[in-house]
Amino acid sequence: MYSALKLNSMEKIPLIILDKKKVVSASSSKILIYNNNKLLKSFPLFRISDLVVHIDNVLKPNVFKWCSKNKIPIHFINKLASYYGTYLQPNSKNIFLREAQYSKRKDKDFVLYLSKQIILGKSKNQAWVVKKYSGENKLPSFNLDALQDKSQILGVEGSIAQCYWREFSKFIKNDKFEFRFRDKNPPIDPVNSLLSYGYTLLVSRIITNILLVGLDPYFGFYHENHYRRPALALDLMEEFRPIAVDLLVLQLINKRRIKPEDFERDLGYVILKKNTRSFFVKEWLRWWFEKKFFIKKLKSEFTLNELSQVQVRKLAKLLVGEIKEYNPLDLTGSP
């Protein structure tokens, strides 16, 4: 299963290899995929933004060599939609930007401010999804100024999430699918399986855009820093979750483009079958690179990839003092 869009522009796009037990090699110009010494496919390096690989594949050392030279991150996932980690070569020589990132993590006021903005953006876009389907915003409101530490922010986020997922379940208009609550990795039902897979694809894209700007994807502000955890990517993906994944999942289910028979059980967990994983990845990539959203404040339309790059650059400017505020992504007022 090899997923890559054929865009008209020369924009770099992900190469996603989800087949198991393949051998991945590379030359100075191509990524090559083999099965039992037989070449299956090859892809030009200059078109690849990042490589997403199933953990049961074999990557030859020359893959790391040429991906490093071409600044292509390698993300590892499995069929349960678990993110395992990223091999990366820092894409920026701007050590001052990363120094500012590390320094700001020690500034409690800054961490609190950015955490508030992250959850504000997420809640606004959750509200946008709810209003799009129900005609009104049914999520609880909150006062940002009243939140004095991250534990309070987490509490607010949790309260909104409970209400959001309760409303989300009502938007599923396909009686073949049932969704009772959001259950994270590993997924226990088809809807959660789709959501988890989408979030894994999303975090890989956010990491890639973070690296393009020159920040450290593992050093975050709202999410705590842990070994192998891309905390900054998790921070910046929050405001994208409702529109980059949740909305697409609803559309695919309601339009019956995905069916219950597209899933299977593995060790008691519900996962996408091989062919459906390929279909979902391609649909998600189209959604990320081609679907455009109108941003009222900017009076223009943008793809999610463009909006992600804008938000990462905005954070970089905030860290070095070029701007004073971080305005999260906000689809309020968009059709």
CA distance 70 to 29: 10
Domain harbouring 58, CATH code: 3.100.10.20
Is the residue at 179 inside a domain? yes
304 and 218 inside one domain: yes
206 and 285 inside one domain: yes
CA atoms within 13 A on the CB side of 128: 25
The pLDDT tens digits of the residues spanning 98-156 come to: 999 999 999 999 999 999 999 999 999 999 999 999 988 889 988 988 999 999 999 99
Total tally of structural domains belonging to the chain: 2
pLDDT at 119: 95
Q: Which residues have C-beta within 8 Å of that of residue 85, sequence separation ≥ 6? A: 75, 76, 228
100 and 38 inside one domain: no
- Structural domain of 170: 95-319
283 and 242 inside one domain: yes
The pLDDT tens digits of the residues spanning 193-214 come to: 999 999 999 999 999 999 989 9
217 and 315 inside one domain: yes
CA distance 4 to 10: 13
297 and 170 inside one domain: yes
268 and 129 inside one domain: yes
| pTM of the shown model | 0.90
64 and 131 inside one domain: no
Return the SS3 of 130: helix
255 and 153 inside one domain: yes
Is the residue at 333 inside a domain? no
45 and 152 inside one domain: no
Q: Which residue has the higher pLDDT, 333 or 271?
A: 271
pLDDT exceeds cutoff 60 at 16: yes
Domain harbouring 190, CATH code: 1.20.120.920
Q: Is the peptide bond before 186 cis (omega within 30 degrees of 0)?
A: yes
Q: Do β-strands 292-295 and 269-272 pair in parallel, antiparallel, or remain unpaired? A: unpaired
pLDDT exceeds cutoff 70 at 44: yes
Helices (H) and strands (E) counted in the chain, each on its own, are 10, 13
Tell which residue, 3, 13, 19, 53, has the closest CA to residue 279: 3
pLDDT at 9: 54
152 and 34 inside one domain: no
170 and 216 inside one domain: yes
Is the residue at 88 inside a domain? no
